[in-house]
Amino acid sequence: MITCADLLTPLYDRLHELILSQPVIAADETTLKVVSENKAKCYMWVYISGADSSEGALPNTDIPNTVLYDYQSNCAGQCAGDYLQGYSSYLQVDGYAGYQKTQDTLAGRWAHARRKFVEAKIVQGKQSSGRADWAMNHIQKLYRIETQIKASTTEEQQPIKQEKSTILLKQSEAWLVKSEPQVLAKSKLSEAITYSLNQWDKLNKYTQNGQLSIDDYRAERAIKPFVIGRKNWLFSQTAKGAKASAILYSIIETSKANGLTPFDYMRHLLEHITYTG
């Protein structure tokens, strides 16, 4: 029996080829329960390029808006390396070590570093002012620069980042190095400082290329349907079903990212695609 996913596989494969040709990709992942895989640890990965909508987030660029999901089991970090085989440009990710297995230039996300200082601030207490506050305020200054240059072209953004953001980053690094031996080991603040220092090279990458952002919330948002799914539909019955979900979600989310109505777009595809499998 030919399924909807079978019909859409050629389009999915074309989108996969397209995303591998882009200068910047962001990625994220989450675990997924698949009943037929027994005790195997399964993952749903997402890879995105472009912007949130057809209006675009990067002025004067032609980077297409794509959202691609990939289901894999029992391969952990190697999944990203396999899916992105042949890609060698910028990949914006969190601190998950598995991304080291790719051939890409890894760029970090400041939201992850900031989140850890927010956790440290909660432990520190709202009524007191300490190291966590200093870190959060300094990170906020970096975000403020990004907001100020958001409407500029990528060519215009890079020299501004080099001039203004680099100074703040050097100040932050000096503070982190100085603070690390002064804080209580295994505390939330220690965890935040250690994470930032371990990710420092990646966290600095966004200043090197105007097409890179200080952050990319899209990848986190794009993986949420499967995070929420664990609480709603709970699991996929088979690996084939999980792969079909990856294909269907990819087509639907990519259509939404390009300002299309998913129902109308899917109906158009199913009315005009010829199965060649």
Q: Is residue 206 part of a domain?
A: no
- pLDDT tens for residues 82-130? 888 888 899 999 888 878 878 788 999 999 999 999 999 888 776 556 8
> Which pLDDT score is estimated for 238?
81
Query: Bridge-partner residues for 27, per DSSP?
Result: 47
Measured CA distances, 62 to 9, 13, 58, 90, 114 (Å): 24, 20, 9, 16, 30
**Residue that wins the pLDDT comparison between 252 and 79:** 252
Specify whether 13 is located in the same domain as 101.
yes
Specify whether 103 is located in the same domain as 126.
no
Under a CB-based contact definition with an 8 Å cutoff, are residues 64 and 15 in contact? no
Average pLDDT for residues 250-277, to the nearest whole number? 85
pTM across the whole model: 0.86
Into how many domains does the chain fold? 2
Specify whether 101 is located in the same domain as 226.
yes
Which residue intervals of 45-161 are DSSP H helices? 78-83, 110-124, 131-148, 154-160
Under a CB-based contact definition with an 8 Å cutoff, are residues 234 and 33 in contact? yes
- pLDDT tens for residues 168-219? 999 999 999 999 999 988 899 999 999 999 999 999 999 988 888 898 778 8
Percent above pLDDT 70 for the chain: 88
Q: Which tokens belong to 94?
A: 């969190």
Specify whether 96 is located in the same domain as 224.
yes
Specify whether 8 is located in the same domain as 99.
yes
Under a CB-based contact definition with an 8 Å cutoff, are residues 110 and 57 in contact? no
Full domain range(s) for residue 143: 110-201
Has residue 257 got a pLDDT over 60?
A: yes
**What's the mean pLDDT when you consider all of the chain?**
85
Specify whether 220 is located in the same domain as 100.
yes
Specify whether 170 is located in the same domain as 124.
yes
